[in-house]
Amino acid sequence: MSSSWRVLERREVFSIPRRISIAIETVELPDGRRVDDYMQIDIADFVLIVAETGGNRIVCLRLYRHGARRVGIELPAGHIDDSEHPLDAARRELLEETGYESADWEPLGTFFQSTNHRIGLGQVFRARNATKVQEPCSGDLEDAHVELLTRDELIAAMRTNEIVSAPCLAALALARI
Amino acid sequence: MSSSWRVLERREVFSIPRRISIAIETVELPDGRRVDDYMQIDIADFVLIVAETGGNRIVCLRLYRHGARRVGIELPAGHIDDSEHPLDAARRELLEETGYESADWEPLGTFFQSTNHRIGLGQVFRARNATKVQEPCSGDLEDAHVELLTRDELIAAMRTNEIVSAPCLAALALARI
């Protein structure tokens, strides 16, 4: 079976502090070959939340996303603050972005935005019996609208390509939606 | 409903030609606010292939991925070459990485690695009745092993976090695996 590559050298070639760092690594492959320009990209790690209401609806957001240049449907999500526990970040982001909270949380798994380049690590949580306790107050730039979608409506949104975020689709796969 | 942001200015702040470009945009939001440091990241667009054999197995790869620093299960995938049609890229990558081909292709949708930052656009294709016609010859750095997994085995691999690529999980969501 293929085994790990050894990092012989790593040099940062670009950074915007607290936002992105790009490094070029010299790596040694298991067969002894060396590659001197393997690129790794680091951005902040993040959480995504699949929050289900007691009425079997999933708490979603409809909003313009500038990276995609379009309006789409997404799950609540956000960056993990420094020294914040991922579950605490998930609770915070769900409350800030949607006004919902839950007492029943389960980790569903993790993934990378790219397994070539790393980019960010995403951690997915399921929240059951989520209930609305306040109005959203995310402070995000986007003007987001909370929508409670059934599983069938979410599947239809995947089919019509209204969900264009790979991390959101990945979270839905882990949640078996 | 939230509408598009206007890009007032865009300046490239870093690039490695043909690999990555980072730009900072000045954008105007629908409410008139201006943001002068919105980051966009461009890397090559890519295809992912959910190839099913006549025996209802999905053609997968088990390989070390340096971005994740671990061995995992992935779908055949790769960058779209300059001026290559995405479906041609999918046929080429499936053949090179697994030795399989198919006469029955269907586009399943597209996504971005990040809807904040863009990063790369992924295009997903389903290939039915895939058959092995040659040995793999990808030329990739990774020592990949082809594995034919049933749908249940793929779902088990998601549950045990053996699939850690957001684009692969996203492709499985679009394929309704």
- What residue type is A31 in one-letter code? D
Examine the domain organization and report whether B121 and B139 are in the same domain. Answer: yes
Per-residue pLDDT reduced to its tens digit, B107-166: 999 999 999 999 999 999 999 999 999 999 988 888 899 999 999 999 999 999 999 999
Q: Encode chain A (177 residues) as per-residue pLDDT tens digits.
A: 558 999 999 999 999 998 999 999 999 999 999 999 999 999 999 999 999 999 999 999 999 999 999 999 999 999 999 999 999 999 999 999 999 999 999 999 999 999 999 999 999 999 999 999 999 998 888 889 999 999 999 999 999 999 999 999 999 999 999
Residues of chain A in contact with residue B40, where contact means CB-CB under 8 angstroms, are 66-67
Tell me, yes or no, if A146 comes closer than 8 A to chain B by beta carbon.
no
Examine the domain organization and report whether A51 and A38 are in the same domain. Answer: no
Examine the domain organization and report whether A36 and A65 are in the same domain. Answer: no
Examine the domain organization and report whether A78 and A90 are in the same domain. Answer: yes
Q: Is the pLDDT of residue B19 over 70?
A: yes
Residue at B1 is within a domain: no
Dist CA B5 CA A26 (whole Å) = 40
Q: Is B136 helix (H, G, I), strand (E, B) or coil?
A: coil
Per-residue pLDDT reduced to its tens digit, B53-99: 999 999 999 999 999 999 999 999 999 999 999 999 999 999 999 99
Examine the domain organization and report whether A18 and A100 are in the same domain. Answer: no
Examine the domain organization and report whether B21 and B67 are in the same domain. Answer: no
**From the candidates B20, B50, B66, which should be mutated to test the interface with A, based on the most A CB atoms within 10 A?**
B66
Check B67 against A112: CB less than 8 A apart. yes
Check B116 against A163: CB less than 8 A apart. no
Decide: residue A11, CB within 10 A, 0-12 exposed, 13-18 middle, 19+ buried: exposed
Examine the domain organization and report whether B60 and B125 are in the same domain. Answer: yes
Examine the domain organization and report whether A31 and A117 are in the same domain. Answer: no
ipTM of the complex: 0.96
Of B13, B142, B169, the CB nearest to A174: B169
Distance of CA B63 to the CA centre of its chain: 16
Examine the domain organization and report whether A116 and A29 are in the same domain. Answer: no
Write out the residue range of the structural domain in which residue A17 sits: 6-42
Residue at A169 is within a domain: yes
Nearest to A173 by CA among B89, B26, B177: B177
Check B113 against A122: CB less than 8 A apart. no
Residue at B31 is within a domain: yes
Examine the domain organization and report whether B153 and B76 are in the same domain. Answer: yes
Residue at B113 is within a domain: yes
Residues near A85 by beta carbon (within 8 Å), at least 6 away in sequence: none
Check A20 against B43: CB less than 8 A apart. no
**Structure-token pair, residue B152:** 């249940």
Count of residues making up chain A: 177
Residue B138, pLDDT score: 87
Tell me, yes or no, if B156 comes closer than 8 A to chain A by beta carbon.
no
Examine the domain organization and report whether B34 and B91 are in the same domain. Answer: no
Dist CA A173 CA A155 (whole Å) = 11
Residue at A142 is within a domain: yes
What total number of domains does chain A contain?
2
Residue A114, pLDDT score: 95
Nearest to A144 by CA among A68, A74, A81, A91: A74
Examine the domain organization and report whether B84 and B168 are in the same domain. Answer: yes
Residues near A13 by beta carbon (within 8 Å), at least 6 away in sequence: A22, A23, A24, B14, B16
Residue B45, pLDDT score: 95
Tokens 């389960």 identify what position?
A106
Of A72, A141, A173, the CB nearest to B170: A173
Indicate the DSSP class of residue B140: -
**Structure-token pair, residue B22:** 């980072």
Strands B145-149 and B118-132 come out as unpaired
Dist CA B114 CA B43 (whole Å) = 11
Tokens 């999500």 identify what position?
A77
Dist CA A38 CA B66 (whole Å) = 9
Q: Judged by CB atoms within 8 Å, which residues 37-66 of A form the interface with B?
A: 38-41, 43, 62-66
- Does this model's pTM top 0.90? yes
